[in-house]
Amino acid sequence: MFKREFKINLKSLIIWTLIIVFVLVIAFLIYPSLITDTVNLEELVNTMPKEILEIFNMDTISLNSVSGWLLTEGYLFINLVGSCFFAILGGTILLKEQSDGTIDFLFAKPIKKSKIVTSKLLTGTIYILIFNTIISVTNFIGLNLSNDFNFTHWILISIAPIFIHLFFFVLSMFISNYFKKTNKSLTFNIGLVLGTYLIGVISLMSEKLEFLKYLSPFEYINSKTIVTDNCLNSYNLILLTIYIIVCLIGLYKTYNKKELGL
């Protein structure tokens, strides 16, 4: 079952991974020429509103280096696009069996529902590791060729996305149990990713709204902490792990209660 699932979604994984790798390669090739005039770049940054600088962490991280771009816009791009892909995968990987009618065939065999869920989870987890490993290797090569490599920052921005991608994958699988059609599940889960990101942006607009950052998983792995403290916030990672475990428990419970063909 696992081998079948792994092959079915492999094409999508390759396409989404190549998209991000392509953008990163272009950035590594072009960005050095863009930062040759550092005075103009600093002037441009200084004209931006404080809120915009905080959203992209440019109030803390300088854009006058390739690593500065990667820790701001590049890091956000990896987290956001990757989260959308794994939300799509999580929202359809179980539900498509119902849409395609193969769930009746699976349920007719002596296969436990929990085994079906586990095979899908294993596939998604391995995809997440492959996805982030390829991107990490790309960043490693790009930063070294740009003579702007910091091992601590590199390893942290390689590890952090795994948590948020896994969170959205498991959460989307759990939520998909409440839908009957993949297109509705897909739309809802993409909206969830973008919505939680926007909540994080809104939380930076005002001190009165700062509490909203706890509703945005993107704020749990903020690159600002990586630069200022040279570490990830362990409290936030523990919370994300707890959220993932809760979603896993909910996923197994709700799927085991599903009736045949429903």
pLDDT digits 0-9 by tens, 98-118: 666 565 555 556 678 888 899
Q: Would you state the pLDDT for residue 102?
A: 61
Look at 47 and 225; give whichever has higher pLDDT.
225
Contact between 159 and 128 under an 8 Å Cβ cutoff? The reply is: no
pLDDT, position 258: 72
Distance CA(41)–CA(48), nearest Å, equals 11
Output the pLDDT for position 68: 86
Closest CA to 219 of 238, 237, 200, 191: 200
Whether 163 contacts 79, CB under 8 Å: no
Question: pLDDT at position 90, please?
Answer: 95
Query: Residue 77: which pLDDT band, with cuts at 50, 70 and 90?
Result: very high
Question: Which of the two residues, 189 and 108, has the higher pLDDT score?
Answer: 189
- Who has greater pLDDT, 228 or 140? 140
Q: CA neighbours within 13 Å on the CB side: how many for 164?
A: 30
Give SS3 for 101: coil
Q: Which residue has the higher pLDDT, 259 or 186?
A: 186
Report how far residue 252's alpha carbon sits from residue 233's, in angstroms, rounded to the nearest whole number.
29
Confidence band (pLDDT; 50, 70, 90) for 203? confident
**C-alpha span between 33 and 105 (Å, rounded):** 57
Q: Report the sign of the C-alpha dihedral through residues 186, 74, 154, 25, in that order.
A: positive
What average pLDDT score do residues 149-175 get? 96
pLDDT band at 262 (very low <50, low <70, confident <90, very high): very low
What's residue 46's pLDDT?
65
Does residue 240 contact residue 219 with C-beta atoms inside 8 Å?
A: no
